[in-house]
């Protein structure tokens, strides 16, 4: 007797998407604190794409008390 295999269920591939967030930080003399300003690129991409974009910036910081941070943050649909 030949057994028939059940057809495989197609699984949805879950791809986490990320957005680039650029935020401004200030130095208090002892700690770096978030100033409260940020910009977000509202174009979700894969983590790999986000890391590539994030790493393609040139940094020119002359003020030792402020700095920018560029991060890849997971995109959450609301």
Specify the pLDDT at position 51: 96
Specify the pLDDT at position 76: 84
Specify the pLDDT at position 13: 62
Specify the pLDDT at position 59: 86
Enter the DSSP assignment of 60.
-
Distance between CA atoms of 77 and 49, rounded to whole angstroms? 19
Specify the pLDDT at position 22: 96
| Regions of the chain where pLDDT drops below 70 | 1-14, 78
Q: In the chain, what are the domain boundaries?
A: 17-74
> Structure pTM?
0.74
């Amino acid at each position: 007797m030949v057994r028939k295999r059940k057809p495989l269920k197609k699984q949805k591939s879950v791809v986490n998407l990320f957005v680039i967030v650029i935020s401004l930080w200030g130095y208090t003399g002892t700690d770096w604190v978030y100033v409260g300003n940020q910009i977000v690129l509202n174009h979700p991409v894969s983590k790999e794409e986000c890391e590539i974009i994030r790493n393609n910036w040139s940094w020119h910081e002359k003020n030792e008390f402020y700095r920018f941070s560029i991060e890849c943050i997971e995109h959450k649909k609301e």
